[in-house]
Each structure stands twice: as structure tokens, then as C-alpha cells.
Amino acid sequence: MVPITGYLDYAGLDDVVSGGARRIWVDTPKGRYRVWTKRTGHNPRLKVLLLHGGPGSTHEYLEACDSYLPAAGVEYYYYDQLGSGRSDRPDEPSLWELDRFVDEVEQVRCALGLSPDNLVLYGHSWGGLLAVEYALEYQRHLKGLVVSNMMSSVPAYNAYARDVLMPEISPDVLAEIKELEKNGDFDNPRYMELLSEHHYVQHVLRMAPVDWPDPVERGFAGINPAIYVPMQGPSELGVSADAKLVDWDRTGDLPSISVPTLVIGARYDTMDPSYMEMMAGRLPAGQYLYCPKGSHLAMYDDQAVYFEGLVKFLQELTTS
């Protein structure tokens, strides 16, 4: 597990802070907490709320958007989900449930004044799962939807990891990884060393780890295992059998999402690109963007294709 580093305690600060950032109060079954947001740009017709991955990562790795979206005239909002990044981090395990996160997104939408006239919900990885779940409950509030690098079925993702990704790893290395996982030795530096060399550089971000961009480094360093482990599980090669999301599958519900939706997949992704193309076909107003050089973080390793396609989709929404 990637250790948490650099967390700052924001307790006692005003809810409105500088540079377009704002902390929003959200109600939960365990009380009220603050989540951090930041607005960039101004466009009353096009506002994108960004849902980061994890679960329990931070908005920081999505800062690649700063190189493309402002010039395209897009207004967008970074947002650290509760328990992540600059948001409050309550020690309340019962809060890490999918339906509560959906309710949180809806509270953030209301607080930011986002409406079906302008709101595009973007989700990457776990954020894509959350975006699908939100759309199934609240699509009446959406102008559009973006599901980036996330399959609509965790069982199908686990099958892809087992049948396609794991066989790409040499048998000796995979056996060592599996032995470490079997022993629960996830904090062993050898575990991350093996994954970095034989999995991450192939399917997470196709760059040498020493060349990873600073926003990615910060995003990974900020992962909160108190959220990640119970929801995803400690393994980096699929969702664990005892994790809360292991049975999540919304593929059969995709036809009920009628808003324009862009699904983004990549050739070397941890997620099956052909499955994500199928998802786009099942969505009544679905489109598919394929990144032929990209991996799970295609916004970095196939950046031009990724953002050209994303911007095109967003701008088309303002003329439709």
C-alpha cells in the first residue's frame, strides 16, 4: 500500500479559501464534515465536476486538466471526496459506502449550484464507478457524463485482471506477488517493487517511476488506506473477495442512462478497453474514446489523444 504523506490539518480555517478553493459542508450519518473543492475558469454553459479515483486518492493527479481545459473555455471543479486530500478525514469506517458517496456528490452539486443546464460529471477509475452510480440516481441533474478508464462491472474487471493482465507477468514474479498477498505482506517494500516493475509501468502509467509527473506522485502519496482497503482491498491486481465493491455490476443498467456519455478506454489500461467500448454501445447517447498509447492514466501517457477527445465531447455539448 502506498503510504500517506504530507497530509495537512485544515481544522479551524474558514470555509472559503483563496484561489477559487472552497470547503463545503456535507451531512453524513455520523455528522457534518467539510470537503474541499476548487473552481477553475468561468463558463455558465459548461461546468465539469471531477471525481478522482481510489477510492481514497486525491484530486491532484487530475491536474493534467490545467494544461488543456482552460484554453478550451471549460469551467471545472476539483474535489477531494470525504476522507481524501484536503477534505476532512473522519475516523468513521461506516462512512465508506457507495451510496453515501453518491449522496455526498449530490450535496456538493447543490452547494456549487450546478444544474442540468451546465453540469458534466467526470469520473476516473473509482470516480467513474461513482459517476455511473450517481447518474443512475440523479441523471436529471446532468447535461453530460464522462466515464474514464472504468468498467461497469467489477467481476468483469477481476476476470480481465486474472485472465489477461496476470498472465503477462512472468510466472516466477507473479508467484512471488501472490505469496506476499497470501501472507498479507502488503507493506513489504518488495511488493511495491515487483508491482512497479512488472505491472505499473505497463498498465497504470507507461513511464519509468522516476519520470512520473509531480501531480501523480502527490495523488498516489495521498491515498487513504482506511478507505481504499475496505472498498477495493489491499491487492493491486484486482478487487479483493472481501471488499465492498467486489460484486458491483451496473452493465445491465447502462441503457437507462440517457444523457450524452463519453467512455474513455486505453490500449494498455488495467481495465479492458473492448469492454469499455461495449459500454459506450449500450448507452443510448454513448461515445467511445480510445487511447492507443495510453494506460490507466491515459491523461498522461496518451495525453494529446485523451484531451483532444475529451474537449471535443465537452464542446459539442454546448452546441447540441
pLDDT higher than threshold 70 for residue 2? no
pLDDT higher than threshold 60 for residue 249? yes
Amino acid letter, 143: K
Catalytic residue, from 57, 87, 125, 152: name it. Answer: 125
- Is 269 annotated in the active site? yes
Catalytic residue, from 88, 296, 301, 302: name it. Answer: 296
The confidence score (pLDDT) of residue 18 equals 63
- Is 125 annotated in the active site? yes
The confidence score (pLDDT) of residue 14 equals 41
The confidence score (pLDDT) of residue 319 equals 82
pLDDT higher than threshold 90 for residue 5? no
Mean pLDDT, residues 254-279 taken together: 98
pLDDT digits (tens, 9 = 90+) for 143-174: 999 999 999 999 999 999 999 999 999 999 99
pLDDT digits (tens, 9 = 90+) for 36-93: 999 999 999 999 999 999 999 999 999 999 999 999 999 999 999 999 999 999 999 9
Contacts of 139 (CB under 8 A, 6+ apart): 145, 257, 258, 259
Average pLDDT, the chain: 93
Q: Which of 16-30, 91-105, 224-238 has the lowest mean pLDDT?
A: 16-30
Q: In the chain, what are the domain boundaries?
A: 1-320
Mean pLDDT, residues 123-138 taken together: 98
Catalytic residue, from 80, 88, 103, 269: name it. Answer: 269
- The CATH code of domain 1-320 reads 3.40.50.1820
Percentage of the chain exceeding pLDDT 90 = 90
The confidence score (pLDDT) of residue 19 equals 76
